[in-house]
Structure 1
Amino acid sequence: MKSIINRMGKINGLNKFRKPLAYLPGLLVLSLGLYIVIDQPHIRFITNRIHEIVQLREENDNYRVFLKLTVFFRVWLFEVTNPEAVMAGDNPSLREIGPFVYDLHIEKHVIRVDEAADEINFTVTKTYFFNQKESGDLTEDTVVTVLNFAYLGTIQKIISLAATFLKKIGPIIHQIFPGVVSPFLTAKAGEIIFSGLPLDCTNVDKALNLICNVLKGNPPPLLKKTDTPGLFLYSLFYRVNGTVQGPFTVNRGIKNIYSLGNTTSFKNMRVTNYWANETCNVVRGTDAITWPPMPKKLSKIQGYEPQLCRSLNLSFMKEVMLNTLMGYQYKLTADVWNQKDMECYCPRNKKKVMECLPSGLMDIDKCQEVPVIFSEPHFLHASSELLDYAQGLHPSEEKHKTFIVLDPLTGAPISGSKKIQLNMKMSSIPTVPWFTNVSDGYFPLLWAEEVSPSTPSISTHTTPRLKSSISLVSLCTSSSSIAQSKIHE
């Protein structure tokens, strides 16, 4: 009997511990939940894994997209509807013809990888193929009348190098441009944009030999040599079609993820020599394709544009939703044309005196070695005086803005469009008959944009980065939700 009583006592003692033990699993879950909510290890896991995915490593999808992608290149030519009146002194009346759409294949060729600097050194080749479907009723055979950029550019180069020489050859310089009967050019769009029109130095007046010898020895970028010595072809974009550009270096983002995609050198220069001071010459900013993740919303982001040999700041506009994804929209604003910031890009005359253009214009002769002037399409964000001269332009923020929408988690572009307008300075030249009576102004040639084929939906070069990241977020968010639900129980 005594032993039975002793056993009962032991059982009652154990029962005292059973009730607290029943709460142990719940307490463990509660502790785990508190740890997840407060310390957020799942967030660190997601962040670290995304950083690994977007780095420019050979095993990553992002690296393969970095090396090769395809976008649309769209061109609108400005047709001159009153060429005779312009030669008599009237302002040009312009009509936009386009878009002429091309598939643009961009390939990067890696030269070397610098592990210590965490940089990739590479060149870029861009190849353009006409896309008839996207161009609609327009073809490369569509005939357009535009300002003869090669003829005017040749005259402007002579003026800058030896103005007195123009007195002798001004009246006959048109002879090297077969069929040219005015400062305007009527030709097929495909010839104007890429395939080219003839510049003939094979049988010219002796007075033109000097300029032809210069062209033969050192042809400007607009000219393409043919199999016939002295016969060239000129077009607006021949120089960038199928030719190697660079080299460039960019940061891989392995040592510092927030440096990912930053361009650190161009043509083997970390600080170029195109502009007036070092601040404007420093090479920095992404290529507009590879961006780092954004742990916080930035007021401005920066890209490097080799066609302008300079960096450009884009300003934050708003959060947008595209295909259920939230992105940060940034765009080029009027701030980029701030007079103080633009001063170092102003050309200097022979006396080293700064000669700034009207607001909204940038002379890129030093960068491109052709006398062209950059602006945004239809002189968006530019001085109103430009529209007084170029009749028929109608700037629209919606149609003509340069913008990009970035996924803040990965830095992947969700949507975007990069735009440029090319112009030339038109002015009276007494020694050249066709330019004797023209009025002074800035004459638009065309505007163009590079845009993803899938804009405004998710870009093809965005998808690999986002797919991996979304899967990670979904998995970890589910785990976090389970833990938090236990806390509230």
Structure 2
Amino acid sequence: MDMSDNRVNSSVGYVYDSRSHSNLSSLEKNCNQIFLKGPALTRDFFDKIQNDVVPPKTEFFGYTMSTRRFFLLTALFLLFTFSCMGTITMWFTNVYKKQINSMLVISEESETYEMWRAPTVKSYLKIYIFNYTNVERFELRKDKKLQVKELGPYVYQETIEKVNVKFNKVDGTVSFQEKRVYTFRPELSKGSKYDSVMVPNIPMLTSASFARQYNFFLRVSFSTILTSISAKPFIKLTVDEFINGYEDNLYDLGKNYLKFNDMRVFEHFGLLALKAGLQPDIVTLNTGLHNINKLGQVEKYNGEREFTFWNTDSCNKIRSSDGVMYPISDVNKKADLEFFMPHMCRKIPLNYNNSVTILDNIPVHRYKFPANVFDSGYENDHFCYCTNDDGSCPPHGIFNATPCAFGSPLFYSWPHFAESDPDLLEAVSGLRNNFSVDSFIDIHPKLGLLVGGKIQFQVNVQLQKSYGILQLNPYPNNLMIPTVWIEGVLDSKDIPQDLLTIIYAMTFTVRNVELGLKYGTLLTTMVTLTCIFLILKKRRDIRSHPHSFGRDIEFDQ
């Protein structure tokens, strides 16, 4: 071996072979050079950028300062500007609330569309039936008053689905029909749906009311028809027949008359049969697209903006809440509200009562129905509903829905004629004279959404006599016959999880985010402003005392 070609590095203890090094390619040699000299090149590059591209000093509002400090002030000014804008937005405008409310707009693209179209909320109808126990004795004049016994409740779960949905983005409305299904809930009911009851024969009493407008000979002919089919003022049925519908010979005979007069015809007559299935009525709601405070407002009913049944324009106007969604602004102000009741063809007022909490401390506003909501007399604001044929008004506490019921003599009141004329209570035996009305609804203030409540009302039929109809002779004229009273219940405990998630988010999450943004932007504004002030103050102090430390202090150092 030629030792001359080898060099020994005694300090590190290894032999360096120059021949092996000479065999490296040019690319490898260049990479090694870059690797060895990289840190130095990087440092030189940034030094050049700092000295040549970015000036070491910057003029700022008459001050000379280092560029680093200038960048710091610029960042603080930008942060101050944005936080100040955020503070103004959160504290002095409604931009945040409007943005949140815009998420409630009814739209096919909305995440809550299916919840609106086919709500999974469980609502129930508790039906209490007045069973007449002495009809035969009364007709034989052995008893002076009709006797009733309250049966029930018979509970039905109501499921509502909106079908044939059509949006109109020009005026911000949506039109639809409702499909209703009623399911008997025996475990919640008191009694069987096969219980036998004696109830008013509403088709017969309605026909007798229509017959009053005809001459005597036609009324006698009508009485003969009633005798031939054994139709009487009261009829014995099962609970299921009375509620879900039954075949009635008189009703079948009258179908052609109803069709000729453009009246609604159902296959069978029954209390809920009139509401079950696909409803022919077309409801037009405001989606809130153009004005969130009109969300859920009924704009049209069967294409009409007002009725022609009542005596004043204000009572004929339809525009009011659909009963589920209410104007958020009015709810927040705790103002009185109104909702549309289709089977009465009128608006129902609601008065703010108090604020309560439901579920896990969710605050809601509770509204109650006025005690005189069913009045129609001239001594109150409801005189527009005074529509008796003879020009008189119904008794105190009674609402005449005959114009809305295609001429059927239907009247509404509180259950057991509570808050009504005492004579109504005395006309029939077995009614409670101490019934306590408990009707209210709970509305979420952030959503304007119905989240619970209870609505009670009684359906009555008036027996209207006319000379020639013998079947009505044993009864006094204009006798108000209580038929059923109904309690619609929406328990907040039955709210489905998908809706509950939204309620919790609007109650707590949105509120916490709002508070975080409000106080976060305010705090950031104060901190950044303080920092800017301190930096500028320090510069002024240094310029005022350049030799305070015994030497000339440069602000840019």
TM-score (norm 1): 0.79
Other-structure match for 1:227: none
Alignment size in residue pairs: 453
Q: 1:309 aligned to 2:332?
A: no
Other-structure match for 2:449: 412
Say whether the 8 Å CA contact 1:262–1:286 is kept in structure 2. yes
The separation in 2 between residues aligned to 1:392 and 1:456, in whole angstroms, is: 34
1:103 aligns with one of 153, 157, 175? 157
Mapping of residues 9-408 of structure 1, within 5 Å: 40-41=90-91, 44=94, 46-69=96-119, 70=121, 71-87=123-139, 88=141, 90-135=144-189, 137-162=190-215, 164-170=217-223, 172-177=225-230, 182-199=232-249, 214=257, 221=264, 224=267, 233-294=268-329, 296-323=332-359, 324-336=361-373, 337=375, 339-340=377-378, 341-349=381-389, 354-369=391-406, 370-394=408-432, 399-401=437-439, 403-408=440-445
Name whichever of 167-176 and 376-385 sits farther off.
167-176
Other-structure match for 1:205: none
Using the TM superposition, give the Cα deviation of residue 333 of structure 1 relative to its aligned residue in structure 2, in angstroms.
0.8
Q: 1:424 aligned to 2:461?
A: yes
Say whether the 8 Å CA contact 1:333–1:381 is kept in structure 2. no
Other-structure match for 2:487: 449
The separation in 1 between residues aligned to 2:146 and 2:96, in whole angstroms, is: 57
1:173–1:68 CA distance, 2 compared to 1 (3 A)? same
The separation in 1 between residues aligned to 2:216 and 2:116, in whole angstroms, is: 47
1:160–1:131 CA distance, 2 compared to 1 (3 A)? farther
Say whether the 8 Å CA contact 2:414–2:437 is kept in structure 1. no
3-state DSSP of counterpart to 1:294: helix
Using the TM superposition, give the Cα deviation of residue 176 of structure 1 relative to its aligned residue in structure 2, in angstroms.
2.5
Superposed CA offset, 1:218-263 (max 9, x none): 6965752xxxxxxxx4322322211323211111112111111110
Using the TM superposition, give the Cα deviation of residue 111 of structure 1 relative to its aligned residue in structure 2, in angstroms.
4.4
Say whether the 8 Å CA contact 2:299–2:319 is kept in structure 1. yes
Name whichever of 365-374 and 108-117 sits farther off.
108-117
Say whether the 8 Å CA contact 2:438–2:454 is kept in structure 1. no
Say whether the 8 Å CA contact 1:412–1:465 is kept in structure 2. no
The separation in 1 between residues aligned to 2:282 and 2:86, in whole angstroms, is: 47
1:334–1:223 CA distance, 2 compared to 1 (3 A)? same
The separation in 1 between residues aligned to 2:291 and 2:433, in whole angstroms, is: 40
The separation in 2 between residues aligned to 1:145 and 1:458, in whole angstroms, is: 37
Other-structure match for 1:9: none
Say whether the 8 Å CA contact 1:377–1:420 is kept in structure 2. yes
1:174–1:150 CA distance, 2 compared to 1 (3 A)? farther
The separation in 1 between residues aligned to 2:265 and 2:148, in whole angstroms, is: 23
Using the TM superposition, give the Cα deviation of residue 472 of structure 1 relative to its aligned residue in structure 2, in angstroms.
1.9
Say whether the 8 Å CA contact 1:376–1:420 is kept in structure 2. yes
1:161–1:37 CA distance, 2 compared to 1 (3 A)? farther
1:176–1:212 CA distance, 2 compared to 1 (3 A)? farther
Superposed CA offset, 1:430-462 (max 9, x none): 64444323234311101123322x346657785
1:426–1:54 CA distance, 2 compared to 1 (3 A)? same
Say whether the 8 Å CA contact 2:377–2:393 is kept in structure 1. no
Letter in 2 for 1:283: I
Superposed CA offset, 1:122-162 (max 9, x none): 22222222222222x42221111212222222222212344
The separation in 1 between residues aligned to 2:82 and 2:258, in whole angstroms, is: 76
1:161–1:416 CA distance, 2 compared to 1 (3 A)? farther
Using the TM superposition, give the Cα deviation of residue 314 of structure 1 relative to its aligned residue in structure 2, in angstroms.
0.8
TM-score (norm 2): 0.70
The separation in 2 between residues aligned to 1:461 and 1:245, in whole angstroms, is: 30
1:100–1:28 CA distance, 2 compared to 1 (3 A)? same
The separation in 1 between residues aligned to 2:114 and 2:337, in whole angstroms, is: 24
1:386–1:348 CA distance, 2 compared to 1 (3 A)? closer
3-state DSSP of counterpart to 1:385: helix
5+ unaligned residues in a row in structure 1: which ranges?
1-13, 15-21, 203-208, 225-232
The separation in 2 between residues aligned to 1:194 and 1:280, in whole angstroms, is: 32
Say whether the 8 Å CA contact 2:223–2:471 is kept in structure 1. no
Which protein shows a greater Rg?
2
Superposed CA offset, 1:378-397 (max 9, x none): 22332222212233333777
Letter in 1 for 2:367: Y
Q: Percent identity?
A: 21
3-state DSSP of counterpart to 2:329: coil
5+ unaligned residues in a row in structure 2: which ranges?
1-63, 65-71, 528-557
Name whichever of 167-176 and 189-198 sits farther off.
167-176
Letter in 2 for 1:339: G
The separation in 2 between residues aligned to 1:423 and 1:132, in whole angstroms, is: 26
Superposed CA offset, 1:48-102 (max 9, x none): 2321221112232443232122522221111112223432262222222112112
Letter in 2 for 1:48: K
1:435 aligns with one of 472, 490, 493? 472
Letter in 1 for 2:280: Q
Say whether the 8 Å CA contact 2:179–2:279 is kept in structure 1. yes
Higher relative contact order (CA 8 A, sep 6+): 1
